[in-house]
Amino acid sequence: MNLIICCTPLQVLIAKEIILSNGGKEKFYGVMLSPVKNEKYEYYYSLLKEVTSDAFFIYRKQTVLSWGISFLKLKIFLFFKKRINSIYLSNINDELIHLLIDSMRHIDLYTFDDGTANIIKTSAFYSRSVRNRTKILRAALRIKTTMNTVKEKSLLHYTIYPNISNIINKTKVVSIFNTENYDNVRSDEKLIKVFLGQPFYNSSIRNKDFIEKIVKKLDIDFYIPHPREDYRVENVTYVESKLVFEELFAKEFSNKKCIIYTFYSGAILNLLNLSSVQLISILPKELDDLIIPRKVVNESYYLFKQLGIEVLEI
């Protein structure tokens, strides 16, 4: 049997395609391991259950106690299952998953994308700074598996980003987005402007004010909020859904002529080949107090330019 571990809704979509690509020849157990538990996560957990022989949701808070309880729950879930021969995982830097790998002998490892962290060379998947608390935890539990050993042992990496260098060289492309019906848009179709939200600065007030300026300046029609946003943008129509962006786009904007604006959200990379969609990345002129490291932001915009996405400085 195979075990596939997901920590986000996007990972579930990729996991689903991995499982279906096996054509039913191999059976999978599924685990949703996440510090988030809401309607969206419950929905994608239900999708994971649909394509696996059995699945389990483990809600893990960011504490050492919760970490330990989560590991015990995971081991109990697997104790009553058939022997696991292979583990499919995305979060290659997760200590709990490392400990699980250590506890299982003769396991084949496969990896799949977590998002743009897989293709941004300055992300934590390429150079990771381990906190002292994590070092103590690893030493106390004698965790031998590391992020680098996972990459070294991965037999194959499943990616949604074709022709882009990933964490390991041996990759197989899977598609989570069906583009068949998006090239038949009529030329007289009204142009729709959509902003895909994303916190850019550490300050919620600053994010809100800046995005509202963009909405007004660019005459945005619809706003898709990011799950981490704790502010609400005024004077724009919200599109709120439990679906991840790729599925939401397919549902709400099928056969529409669109301009999709965002900062550096990797979700738009799945729309690169749609002739009916124009992608524009907004680059703020003020690059201080950023929510993620400056070097990651810089590389993200550099990658967008390399892929032919227009970068608009505001």
Q: Which residues does the annotation mark as catalytic? A: 226
DSSP state letter for 194? E
Reference 154, options 103, 115, 108, 120; nearest CA is 108
Name beta bridge partners: 279. 260
| Cα–Cα distance for residue pair 114/94, rounded to 1 Å | 12
Q: How many CB atoms lie within 10 A of CB 61?
A: 12
Contacts of 100 (CB under 8 A, 6+ apart): 71, 74, 75, 87
| Cα–Cα distance for residue pair 4/155, rounded to 1 Å | 15
- 154-159 vs 171-173, strand pairing mode: parallel
HSE value, Cβ hemisphere, 13 Å, CA-based, for 142: 2
Contacts of 9 (CB under 8 A, 6+ apart): 40, 41, 43, 44, 244
CA 126 → CA 72, 121, 165, 296, distances in Å? 29, 6, 12, 11
